[in-house]
Amino acid sequence: MGAATSNTHSKAIGYIVWFFGFTGAHRFYYGKQISGTIYFFTLGLLGVGWLIDLFLIPGMDRQADRKYAAGRLDYTIAWILLTFGFFLGLHRFYMAKYISGVIYLLTGGLFGVGYLYDLWTLNGQIDEINRESN
């Protein structure tokens, strides 16, 4: 068997956000930004891709676990904070990015543009912080 992988993402959370998968939420969570964006604009490939993904989540979870580094920040916590506190910048405070957290708080996530940016980059931001702290 190959190198050991860490459990950076949660299958349970993957399935929970899959429920909102027609928006691409689960694909963004697992670091699949391009297909997440396609799902966002096509309502999960008109629901067909969304249903198929029910069976693909375990594989997406394994890929994310291999791709991203574990460390002091938890990917799932950051994604929950982004999902439910997106315009408040809670995920930014969690990552100790206090200045941008305050900016998000005062501007509604930079008027939504910052939220979209973080959908695309959150896994990479956490990965970078975790690799630096190891």
Predicted confidence (pLDDT) per residue in 42-84, tens digit: 999 999 999 999 999 999 999 999 999 999 999 999 999 998 8
Q: Name the domain boundary from 33, 48, 67.
A: 67
Tell me which residue range forms the domain holding 107. Answer: 71-134
- The closest alpha carbon to 18, from 57, 74, 47, belongs to 57
Which two tokens mark 87? 């315009």
Whether residue 1 lies inside any domain: the answer is no
* Burial category of 33 from C-beta neighbours within 10 Å (exposed 0-12, middle 13-18, buried 19 and up): middle
Which two tokens mark 29? 């969570």
Would the pTM of this model clear 0.85, i.e. be above it? yes
Tokens 């375990």 belong to which residue?
58
Q: Name the domain boundary from 67, 90, 111.
A: 67
Rounded CA gap, 80 and 106, in Å? 20
